[in-house]
Amino acid sequence: MTQDRRIPVCLSLAFLVLYLATCGCASSKSQSFRTSFLPALPQPSPAPDPPPPATPDLFATAMPNPLVAMLAVPKPTDTERRLMRAQERFEAGKRAYGQGNTGVAREEFDRAVDILLATPENAPDRERIERRLEQIVDAVYRYDVNGLGSGEDWDKVVYDKSPLNEMLEMTFSLDPRLKSKVKEEIQATVSQLPLEENDAVLGYIHFFSTDRGRKILASGLRRAGRFRPLIERALGEEGVPLELIFLAQAESGFLPRAVSPKRAAGMWQFVVWRGKEYGLDQSAYRDDRLDPEKATRAAARHLHDLYNQFGDWYLAMAAYNCGPGCVAKAVQKTGYADFWKLRDLGALPHETTNYVPLILAMTIMAKNPKDYGLDHIDAEEPVEYEKVKLTAATSLSLLADAAELPVSQIREMNPSLLRAVTPAGFDLNLPRGSASGVLSALELIPSDRRATWRMHRVGEGETLASIAKRYRTAAGQIAGANPGFLYSPAAGEVLIIPASYSEDRGETKKSRSRVRPASMQRRASTPRLKSASLRRAPAAE
């Protein structure tokens, strides 16, 4: 192509490019001009977070689903419903008692007992019902003697009978089938205390397998739960086989106030002089032999000393029963330091010859509970308490007021107390968590008045006059003892009551004839409990 022809072509291409560019700009401006008069388009919102994955509906399908079965809450059984209803009525009774409404409290307690007594004889969980019934009646007893229609002389200690003498005097027939069974059990049993199978041990195993013997053994094993941690700790620290906890079961059935005809007392049955030898003091106000903690420590030390003396746990146990002098004399006389040989030779007292086999039988059966139908025993909950040192003589009634508990429960937690007033310096046991509140309450009362004065939480509808009448004191004295007191007390308010201990004792003596011994009331058979302790007439105002 010649140069003349290339020039027009280049000019044409340039013109075309310029035209197209001009059209594009015009189109853009025209579009901008038109959209300026239109409503603004909605701005796109940020994309939402993706929804969480849908939870599958476990109940949307009728097909069985094992997860559904795991999550489903089982319906309570008839026994559980009955126990819950009884507990509701019992709690209502406690609230009414705390408000001073003893009539309502009595009715609610009776309803709780009625619910349990109405359980059919063939109920599958009848044992649970009976255990709970016994617990509720025992608790109601505490409230009952404290203000539901009867009185109690708090200066009179109620003791329990030791079961030991009765069992030591027994003779038993032998069950030949037990011999091989017990031998196999001993071989498979781990025990710090040597276990032995012979006719004497088998005789007691046979007895404890009967209805009568099983009840004695089972009741002790049940009560053992209250003290087992305390006892095992003391035995372990003193180097004594833990199986000797059953020595306490034989001696007392784990009853802290058990006594024997020989005037031995407490869970470990110390006589006065032996108790003092191991630091268990006695006075007009307290007897340390009845203190489970102190007596257990003393018993563990005594057993350890006996083992050091004789070098044999069977001889130590025998010496615990008849005294180390008796055993030492038998060993010296016969030349045998072997319990079974001394037994065969008649060198020991008759009761002592049965004492060691009795404890061994209890140990073997308790360590093999399934073989003897003892595996379903529900041991009582361990006793949990905290100690408070009282700086002044203090009445149990005031302590009960401060802790908002029955006097009998305070006394039960402190079985070594012999009077209605604690001595100064006494280490008082209180339910765990209540010590600080009790101490704060006691600070409101002058120390020299704590043996006589009381505290009272005002209930619904109570007036100053009714409160004064209840404590047999003048309304003006109550008002004077409570600075800033309003004449009409409000429900829930706590008042200090200037009471007179001598007047309290007067009424106690007046009402004493109406009260049966506590041991009779608390040992009543279950079917008779309603008539024995719950259906009393209301207390006179």
Q: How far apart are CA 421 and CA 240, in angstroms?
A: 36
* Assigned domain for 360 exists: yes
Do 186 and 330 belong to one domain? yes
**Cα separation of 155 and 534, whole Å?**
24
% of residues, the chain, pLDDT over 70: 74
The mean-pLDDT minimum among 14-28, 231-245, 294-308 falls in 14-28
Asked whether residue 25 is assigned to any structural domain, the reply reads no
Q: Which residue has the tokens 């020299």?
A: 448
Q: Are residues 192 and 323 in the same domain?
A: yes
Q: Say yes or no: 114 and 233 in one domain.
A: no
Predicted confidence at residue 17, as pLDDT, reads 44
Query: Are 359 and 397 members of one domain?
Result: no
SS3 443: coil
Q: What is the DSSP string of 268-320?
A: TTB-HHHHHHTT--B-SSBBGGG-HHHHHHHHHHHHHHHHHHHS-HHHHHHHH
**Is 141 a member of any domain?**
yes
**218 and 301 share one domain:** yes
Q: How confident is the model at residue 264 (pLDDT cuts 50, 70, 90)?
A: very high
Looking at the chain, the whole-number percentage of residues with pLDDT higher than 90 is: 49
Structural domain span for residue 232: 160-372
Residue 507 has pLDDT above 50, yes or no: no
Are the CB atoms for 250 and 358 separated by under 8 Å?
Answer: yes
Mean pLDDT estimate for the chain: 79
Looking at per-residue confidence, does 15 or 409 come out higher? 409
Query: Do 164 and 259 sit in the same domain of this protein?
Result: yes
Q: Are residues 288 and 211 in the same domain?
A: yes
More confident residue, 113 or 45: 113
Q: Name the range with the highest mean pLDDT among 1-5, 9-13, 181-185.
A: 181-185
Give every CB contact of residue 99 below 8 A, 6+ residues apart in sequence.
457, 459, 460, 491
Look at residue 296 and tell me if it is in a domain. yes
Cβ atoms < 10 Å from Cβ of 167: 18
For the ranges 34-43, 104-113, 323-332, the maximum mean pLDDT occurs at 323-332
Residue 283 lies in a domain: yes
The bridge status of strand 494-497 relative to strand 258-259 is unpaired
Task: Indicate the residue among 147, 180, 203 that finishes a domain.
Answer: 147
Q: What is the CATH classification number for the domain harbouring 204? A: 1.10.530.10
In tens, the pLDDT along 402-433 reads 999 888 889 999 999 999 999 999 999 999 99
The answer on 92 and 233 residing in a single domain is no
Last residue in a domain, options 92, 124, 147: 147
Q: What is the rounded distance in angstroms from the CA atom of residue 98 to the CA atom of residue 385?
A: 22
114/424: higher pLDDT: 424
Domain membership of residue 289 (yes or no) is yes
Identify the residue with better confidence: 479 or 72.
479
pLDDT (tens digit per residue) in 357-373: 999 999 999 999 999 99
Contact 432, 179 (CB under 8 A): no
Q: What is the CATH number of the domain that holds 492?
A: 3.10.350.10
Nearest to 535 by CA among 130, 140, 133, 177: 140
Give the count of domains, the chain: 3
Domain co-membership, 140 together with 268: no
Reading the block at residue 193, the tokens are 């205390």
pLDDT for res 518? 35
Whether 363 and 408 share a structural domain: no
Query: What's the mean pLDDT in 69-98?
Result: 79
Would you say the pTM of this structure is higher than 0.75? no
- The residue among 372, 396, 428 that closes a domain is 372
Are 341 and 192 members of one domain?
A: yes
The answer to whether position 69 is within a domain reads no
pLDDT band at 318 (very low <50, low <70, confident <90, very high): very high
Q: For residue range 153-195, what is the model confidence (pLDDT) as tens digits?
A: 445 667 788 888 777 776 667 777 889 999 999 999 999 999 9
Angle separating helix axes 245-252 and 292-310, nearest 10 degrees:
110
257 and 326 belong to one structural domain: yes
Domain contains 399: yes
